[in-house]
Amino acid sequence: MAQLKRVAILGSTGSIGTQALEVIAAHPQLFEVEVLCAHSNSNLLITQAKQFRPNAVVVTDETKYAEVKEALGGLPIKVFAGHTSLADVVAWESVDVVVTAIVGFAGLHSTIAAVRAGKRIALANKETLVVAGDLVARLAMEHKAAIVPVDSEHSAIFQCLVGEKYNAVEKVILTASGGPFLGRKPNYLVNVKASHALQHPNWTMGAKITIDSATLMNKGLEMIEAKWLFGLQNEQIDVVIHPQSIIHSMVQFSDSSVKAQMGLPDMKLPIQYALAFPDRVKNEFKRLDFKEFSKLSFEQPDYKTFRNLALAKDAMYRGGNAPCVLNAANEVVVHAFLQNRVSFIEMSDVIETVATRVAFIEQPGLEDHEQSDKEARIRAAELVKKSQLSH
């Protein structure tokens, strides 16, 4: 019988975290929860802890510590608070796999701590590799930390590469659904509100990633993530629009052969694959019935209308701290858009302007990334405020 894998879930109350717990609950003979971590959703964290009985929970919002500590008082569960505690517990010997599902730049430090501890990382926080891909890739090699992607697209590429020689890869092709505004032009997008953008046609995801999917920024971030995950050159990464979301991504090899990984849009599959790798685990997920999908179509992305994809591609080619700046500005504008403080079109304007105003650093260290992130956020927030005043 396979040895039980003990899992730490960073961001257990978010979309990926809750689905990871569903996968674990369905396979108690394979996985058990060792650590649960959330930022401020103390109610759900307490409920999860009572159900899964982890060794420890971490609430990074320190104002929620007393509440969580008291609620779990009668149980043999250690309770910690703050980001430093989070970086400590992921390095515990009792942790076999770390699911990094904290959204945005906030997930960077804990992921790096897990990499330094040589853990298996089930990576759902794409921003870690977008912001500091060079650094994380080097550390992973140095500390022999295996990174298995949870993003459906990167999981697809990972699966296509199992058993293949990396030097035979000609290019990877990331598929994008096109989001809710596929085929729309700028004159339509001017009036789009957050409520429209949150209605993704195929996937059920958290608010931030759903907006990124609508602007195609998500696909741009995925290009940068793929570069570092798979050690690719910029020219080896391509994007194609595939509205049905059945092919999750493809790899083209030097002999012209193309491998694709297919399945119904369900994040639990890549989560399960990352947790169980190299094994495939039987489950009760709905199966793909080709009779229901008589047509799979593909088209080129509209870089002019969905400028975020072009901005991300440009940041990937520039390298250095450019992706970090792009990511920070994007996090600020998405937050503002969800509060109707900036328009759909203005998000790209702000990101583009910020990219020209933060000094370029060719070989940034972790402190440079932190500084670039901070400066980009301040500048993006100023531009959002200006745009509000001009309305």
pLDDT by residue (tens digit) across 232-271?
A: 999 999 999 999 999 999 999 999 999 999 999 999 999 9
**Do 52 and 195 sit in the same domain of this protein?**
no
Domain final residue pick, 99, 118, 149: 149
**Do 96 and 135 sit in the same domain of this protein?**
yes
Domain final residue pick, 120, 149, 178: 149
Answer whether residue 277 is part of any domain: no
Residue 391 has what pLDDT? Answer: 64
Domain count, the chain: 3
Query: Which residue numbers in the chain have pLDDT < 50?
Result: none
Q: Confirm if 12 and 43 have CB atoms less than 8 A apart.
A: no
Domain final residue pick, 149, 175, 208: 149
Answer whether residue 276 is part of any domain: no
Answer whether residue 314 is part of any domain: no
**Do 247 and 356 sit in the same domain of this protein?**
no
Residue 98 has what pLDDT? Answer: 97
**Do 301 and 176 sit in the same domain of this protein?**
yes
Answer whether residue 273 is part of any domain: no
**Do 27 and 118 sit in the same domain of this protein?**
yes
Q: Confirm if 340 and 346 have CB atoms less than 8 A apart.
A: no
> Containing domain of residue 95, as a range?
5-149
**Do 88 and 156 sit in the same domain of this protein?**
no
Between CA 83 and CA 62 the distance in angstroms is 9
**Do 29 and 82 sit in the same domain of this protein?**
yes
Answer whether residue 281 is part of any domain: no
> Looking at residue 135, which CATH number applies to its domain?
3.40.50.720
Residue 106 has what pLDDT? Answer: 79
**Do 123 and 176 sit in the same domain of this protein?**
no
Residue 3 has what pLDDT? Answer: 84
Answer whether residue 102 is part of any domain: yes
Answer whether residue 74 is part of any domain: yes
> Looking at residue 346, which CATH number applies to its domain?
1.10.1740.10
Answer whether residue 76 is part of any domain: yes
Residue 205 has what pLDDT? Answer: 78
